[in-house]
């Protein structure tokens, strides 16, 4: 069993469920506040393991030499953390204010194609025909889901395009971070790296919240909203470790293609818990995404052309 791909699949499911949970509270918890709470809670959950991973490093000179972060690498990892956890999630939450959970998840499924393109552009991955076709099938599924708007038959507001644009921007940022993370994941242990990146994201969100009064809504949140937000934070912490583990042991495209599972999860959960419509078009789109996922993950193992 490939544990890295299993971790990637679990992350894809978690993202879909988190999108639905975020959609459920976005009317009560503003996007910036939700992003701050999500990763603030996640960081608290990860803190004991991060500290435990760092403790042995002070015992032996060999361990200290092996783990010592370069100052330039710390800055790069912090920047990636701000991109992936602060900016990405903030844009995703902004999108959720305007479009449904399933629609958000389907747009976010462009993640694998963008990752494939950026990874190949950087010379870090060799693209096989089977992998490319699998990713394109997933993209076709997203396009099918957006057909009502593209043909003008949608009954939703034109302003919703801003929601889709925000989600698309978050997807592009996530794909870039996934490709750029890999050299640092090869160089440093996962937990210390995750501590740096997530701490940088939380501090940046805290700064933005302080400037824009983003902390004010905390006093008015209901108990139900708190329960949902805490669950989002806890599961985000778990999924982040799964995500980094997968990226450490597999190519970025083979990992991110499992994000095709998130619209399936979001579509079903959104229908069950939020009464969002689940149309035959959405079902066909999910079928295309599932076929693309199968094809991409059964392609011959990709060989990285550059490890750093």
For the chain, what are the domain ranges?
3-297
The confidence score (pLDDT) of residue 10 equals 92
Backbone torsions φ then ψ of 216, nearest 5 degrees: -60, -40
The confidence score (pLDDT) of residue 271 equals 82
pLDDT digits (tens, 9 = 90+) for 162-183: 888 899 899 999 989 988 988 8
Mean pLDDT of 257-274: 81
DSSP 8-state symbol, 109:
T
Q: Of the given ranges (45-59, 224-238, 244-258), which has the lowest mean pLDDT?
A: 45-59
Mean pLDDT of 244-261: 78
Residue 153's pLDDT band, with cuts at 50, 70 and 90, is low
Question: CB burial class (10 A; 0-12, 13-18, 19+) of residue 159?
Answer: exposed
The confidence score (pLDDT) of residue 49 equals 80
291: which 2 tokens? Answer: 């076929």
pLDDT digits (tens, 9 = 90+) for 121-132: 777 667 778 777
% of the chain at pLDDT higher than 70 = 83
The confidence score (pLDDT) of residue 307 equals 40
Higher-confidence residue: 202 or 292?
202
Residue 104's pLDDT band, with cuts at 50, 70 and 90, is confident
Residue 305's pLDDT band, with cuts at 50, 70 and 90, is very low
Q: DSSP letters of the chain? A: --HHHHHHHHHHHHHHHHHHHHHHHTTTS-HHHHHHHHHHHHHHHHHHHHHHHHGGGGT-HHHHHHHPPPHHHHHHHHHHHIIIIIIHHHHHHHHHTTS-HHHHHHHHTTHHHHHHHHHHHTT--PPPHHHHHHHHHHHHHHHHHTHHHHTT---S-TTHHHHHHHHHHHHHHHHHHHHHHHHHHHHS-HHHHHHHHHHHHHHHHHHHHHHTTTTGGGGG--HHHHHHHHHHHHHHHHHHHHHHHHHHHS-HHHHHGGGGHHHHHHHHHHHHHH-----HHHHHHHHHHHHHHHHHHTSPPP--S---
224: which 2 tokens? Answer: 């139900």
Nearest CA to 43 among 234, 211, 212, 189? 234
Spatial distance between the Cα atoms of 97 and 190, rounded to a whole number of angstroms: 33
Segment holding 87, helix H or strand E:
none
The confidence score (pLDDT) of residue 75 equals 94
pLDDT tops 60 at residue 136: yes
Spatial distance between the Cα atoms of 74 and 198, rounded to a whole number of angstroms: 12
| Vertex 12: Cα angle to 11 and 15 (nearest 5) | 85
Higher-confidence residue: 143 or 153?
143
54: which 2 tokens? Answer: 């760092």
The confidence score (pLDDT) of residue 302 equals 42
The confidence score (pLDDT) of residue 308 equals 40
Mean pLDDT of 268-295: 79
The confidence score (pLDDT) of residue 36 equals 94
């Amino acid at each position: 069993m490939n544990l890295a791909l299993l971790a990637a699949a679990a992350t894809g499911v978690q993202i879909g469920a988190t999108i639905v949970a975020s959609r459920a509270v976005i009317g009560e918890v503003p996007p910036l506040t939700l992003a701050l709470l999500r990763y603030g809670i996640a960081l608290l959950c990860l803190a004991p393991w991060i500290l435990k991973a760092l403790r042995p490093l002070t015992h032996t000179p060999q361990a200290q030499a092996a783990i010592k972060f370069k100052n330039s690498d710390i800055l790069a990892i912090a920047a990636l953390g701000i991109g992936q956890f602060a900016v990405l999630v903030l844009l995703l939450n902004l999108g959720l204010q305007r479009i449904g959970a399933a629609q958000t998840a389907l747009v976010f499924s462009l993640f694998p194609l963008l990752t494939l393109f950026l990874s190949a552009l950087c010379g870090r991955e060799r693209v096989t025909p089977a992998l490319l076709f699998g990713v394109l099938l997933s993209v076709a599924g997203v396009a099918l889901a957006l057909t009502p708007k593209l043909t003008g038959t949608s009954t939703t507001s034109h302003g919703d395009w801003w929601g889709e644009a925000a989600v698309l921007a978050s997807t592009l940022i996530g794909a870039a971070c996934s490709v750029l993370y890999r050299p640092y994941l090869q160089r440093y242990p996962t937990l210390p790296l995750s501590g740096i990146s997530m701490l940088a994201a939380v501090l940046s969100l805290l700064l933005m919240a302080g400037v824009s009064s983003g902390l004010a809504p905390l006093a008015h949140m209901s108990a139900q909203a708190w329960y949902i937000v805490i669950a989002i934070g806890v599961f985000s912490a778990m999924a982040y470790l799964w995500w980094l583990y997968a990226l450490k042991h597999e190519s970025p495209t083979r990992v991110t293609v499992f994000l095709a599972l998130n619209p399936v999860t979001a579509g079903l959960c959104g229908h069950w818990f939020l009464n969002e419509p689940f149309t035959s078009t959405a079902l066909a789109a999910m079928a295309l995404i599932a076929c693309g996922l199968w094809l991409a993950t059964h392609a011959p193992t990709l060989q990285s052309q550059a490890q750093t």
